[in-house]
Amino acid sequence: MTTVVRSTSDVDTRNWPGIAYVPAGTKTRIAAPVADFLFRRAVGMLPVRARFDDGTEIGGGGTGSPVMVIKRPADFAERVGQSGLIGFGEAYMAGDWDAADLTAVLEIFATRMATLIPQSLQRLRGLYVSKPPRAERNTTKNTRSNISRHYDLSNELFELFLDETMTYSSALFSETGRVDDGEPLADAQRRKIDRLLDRAGVREGSRVLEIGTGWGELAIRAAARGATVRSVTLSTEQQDLAAQRIAAAGYSERAQVDLLDYRLVDGEYDAVVSVEMIEAVGHQYWGTYFQTIDKVLAPGGRVAIQAITMPHDRMLATRNTYTWVHKYIFPGGFLPSVRAIEEVTETQTNLRVRERLSMGDHYARTLRRWDEKFRAHSAATAELGFDDVFARMWHFYLCYSEAGFRSGYLDVQQIVLDRRGDK
């Protein structure tokens, strides 16, 4: 692919070679006008406005509608033409476009995600959209690297925007809805954890396996109930800080954190708990994930997982698609549908889904809190060595995720399973 240096920029992109250069060449020359046409067509059908550098505005929105500011239309079209939705995100990272309320803009696009491209062109999706790299497939060889690229960025970075529990998953607020009642996020996170532990039957003497440690809050709260906890992670940063937090809470004799692939876990456990870890498994390994849980679950034991989900039809349509989130945030990840979880457990294990709680609105609120806190600590983020492009990338990721939950395109579920035939 031929590239040319972009002539202007609002951010310093020198440390981001893929962002510092605007794609060019034959594919881009052909695709950029098509991308420009499709973008203008989509905006014309949506309640949003696009304002260009020459002062013109287009879009189906009116006064008060969210506004995209397209600062460099040619660069924007070339990035989107070359890489589709990956290019859309990269154009934001480069400063080719901006929005005062990024979540509102992205929510509008997410609401119509499946219909923005004409059906005739969707048939060509397989020829145009990139496939996930084999090097990011979650084999036992690759998974450690995939996890490290996100969770080992810096404990100090995550401390800037998470609450005191260091919980990096959806909270469960006392009230749902779009209006934030001001409940402390830490309280809502503890409520989420306690509900999972309750549904898994964790009590005095329980043997608990946690798949995906995070930074240790669930292990601490399980140990506080009198349980013995084994937690496994592939993040060295998480292992270190989780162990420190467990020791500071006085539960080192009850809870251990092992740097171990979930597929290598042995032993027998009365409860298995896993919070937003299945998203990192990869659809090729969902069967292995649940078979492992089935293998180590004691007779009469229960499983409680929290999983981000997507509609089944969109899951099938996108399971072999390489996305902006894969490239910049979660390499190797993929979201299941509820139906996929039910089908995998029913056909490949003795586990059965017994209960589900939908929490999508709660995740939207959680993400809004994280983004507000992240932006409030922009100076501290820079002091840690993360530049402006990273800051724009992280803001886009948090808003993109919030928009997915607000639109209903994404959901998050607490799912309880037990083994068929157990009493």
253 confidence band (pLDDT: 50, 70, 90): very high
Q: What average pLDDT does range 184-188 have in this prediction?
A: 97
Q: Is the separation of the CB atoms in 291 and 351 below 8 Å?
A: no
Place of tokens 């809050």: 217
pLDDT at position 2: 44
Q: Provide the mean pLDDT of the chain.
A: 92
Q: Are residues 62 and 101 in the same domain?
A: yes
pLDDT at position 124: 52
pLDDT at position 284: 95
Residue positions counted in the chain: 423
Residue 67 structure tokens: 């506004």
Nearest by Cα to 268 from 158, 419, 412: 419
Q: Residue 383 domain-assigned?
A: yes
Q: Is residue 120 over pLDDT 70?
A: no
Residue 60 structure tokens: 């189906």
Q: Are residues 159 and 290 in the same domain?
A: yes
For the chain, the C-alpha Rg in angstroms (whole number) is: 22
Q: Residue 369 domain-assigned?
A: yes
* Chain segment 356-387, per-residue pLDDT in tens: 999 999 999 999 999 999 999 999 999 999 99
Q: What angle do CA 94, 99, 55 make, to 5 degrees?
A: 90
C-alpha 376/C-alpha 160 separation (Å) is 9
Q: Identify residue 275 by its one-letter amino acid code.
A: V
Q: Is the separation of the CB atoms in 48 and 67 below 8 Å?
A: yes
Q: Are residues 9 and 71 in the same domain?
A: yes
Q: Is residue 36 over pLDDT 80?
A: yes
Q: Is the separation of the CB atoms in 212 and 129 below 8 Å?
A: no
What pTM does this model have?
Answer: 0.93
Please count the CA atoms within 13 angstroms of the CA of 9 that sit on its side-chain side: 19
C-alpha 59/C-alpha 72 separation (Å) is 17
Q: Residue 138 domain-assigned?
A: no
Q: Are residues 316 and 167 in the same domain?
A: yes
Q: Are residues 29 and 73 in the same domain?
A: yes
C-alpha 268/C-alpha 206 separation (Å) is 11
Q: Are residues 94 and 159 in the same domain?
A: no
Q: Are residues 170 and 290 in the same domain?
A: yes
Q: Are residues 120 and 147 in the same domain?
A: no
pLDDT at position 6: 47
* Chain segment 292-303, per-residue pLDDT in tens: 999 999 999 999
Name the domain boundary from 107, 129, 151. Answer: 129
Q: Are residues 123 and 155 in the same domain?
A: no
Q: Is residue 199 over pLDDT 60?
A: yes
Q: Are residues 96 and 174 in the same domain?
A: no
Q: Are residues 197 and 49 in the same domain?
A: no
Q: Residue 10 domain-assigned?
A: yes
Domain count of the fold of the chain: 2
C-alpha 362/C-alpha 369 separation (Å) is 11
Q: What is the dihedral of CA 245, 163, 323, 45, to 10 degrees?
A: 170
* Chain segment 231-246, per-residue pLDDT in tens: 999 999 999 999 999 9
Q: Is residue 7 over pLDDT 50?
A: no
Q: What average pLDDT does range 158-163 have in this prediction?
A: 98
128 confidence band (pLDDT: 50, 70, 90): low
SS3 letters for 121-180? HHCCHHHHCCCCCHHHCCCCCCHHHHHHHHHCCCHHHHHHHCCCCCCCCCCCCCCCCCCC
C-alpha 71/C-alpha 359 separation (Å) is 37
131 confidence band (pLDDT: 50, 70, 90): confident
Domain with residue 201: its CATH number is 3.40.50.150
Q: Is residue 5 over pLDDT 50?
A: no
- Domain span including residue 21: 3-129
% of the chain residues with pLDDT over 70: 92
Q: Residue 357 domain-assigned?
A: yes
Name the domain boundary from 129, 157, 184. Answer: 129
Q: Are residues 234 and 262 in the same domain?
A: yes
Lowest-confidence pick of 30-34, 184-188, 270-274, 380-384: 30-34
The sign of the dihedral angle between the CA atoms of 223, 225, 228, 232 is: negative
Name the domain boundary from 72, 99, 129. Answer: 129
DSSP β-bridge partners for residue 4: 22
Q: Residue 398 domain-assigned?
A: yes
* Chain segment 307-364, per-residue pLDDT in tens: 999 999 999 988 889 999 999 999 999 999 999 999 999 999 999 999 999 999 999 9
* Chain segment 388-411, per-residue pLDDT in tens: 999 999 999 999 999 999 999 999
- Specify the DSSP class assigned to residue 337: P
Residue 182 structure tokens: 């001001």
* Chain segment 75-90, per-residue pLDDT in tens: 999 999 999 999 999 9
- Specify the DSSP class assigned to residue 335: P
Q: Is the separation of the CB atoms in 381 and 395 below 8 Å?
A: no
Q: Which residue has the higher pLDDT, 9 or 130?
A: 130
Q: Residue 69 domain-assigned?
A: yes
Q: Residue 102 domain-assigned?
A: yes
